[in-house]
Amino acid sequence: MMKNLVFLGAPGAGKGTQAKRISEKYGIPHISTGDILRANIKEGTELGKLAKSYIDKGLLVPDEVIVKVMDARLKEADCKNGYLLDGFPRTIEQAKALDKITNVTLAINIAVDSDAVVARIAGRRMCVCGESYHVSTHPSDVCDKCGAKLYQRDDDKEETVKARLEVYEKQTAPLIEYYSAKGVLKDVDGMKDVAEVTDEIIKVIDGNR
């Protein structure tokens, strides 16, 4: 069966972490709009500059920009046996646009507590080498891997996280009902241990839950 998956959940729910694990298990590409946009921001492309002006304020990048990016990505050869979307769609309009491009077979909602999300994201620290840490388990501001000084992304700052959560509740949370009405939504408890959440997701995908 084709595995066209969409991961839903508030910012900080662990979608990226789980997406990487599930992508590896099933051999399908993990497509993150955040990663695509951050790459453009780093390269200084016009799309990157435009996206950064919205992201730094905790706002969503306009639909027409995201839809064009995703349409092109889903046409690439590695998506022929399925894909896993992380961070898209984020609005009902995007979901409807996605329906015109492809057929979503399963939407998995990773449910978490809002206060826990703020603590989880605001405590995240990044390194230029690609490693990421959390202040609760790594109080040092130096990377263990390369020794570089860690930094906090602008969109990980507490005030920005709270703004992102407000945007999520207004614009993205309605997708839960949207996919539920289509009969393809499944919920998993994102407050559990990372490995336990992965196991739950696998059960859902394999039809064992």
Which residues are catalytically annotated?
15, 90, 124, 153, 164
Closest CA to 31 of 84, 104, 95: 84
Closest CA to 88 of 62, 112, 113: 62
Rg (CA), the chain: 17
Token pair belonging to 184: 């393809």
Rounded distance between C-alpha atoms, residue 163 and residue 171, angstroms: 12
Contact 6, 205 (CB under 8 A): no
Rounded distance between C-alpha atoms, residue 7 and residue 14, angstroms: 10
SS3 content of the chain, % helix, strand, coil (to 5): 50, 15, 35
DSSP 8-state code for residue 14: S
Contact 83, 72 (CB under 8 A): no
DSSP 8-state code for residue 2: -
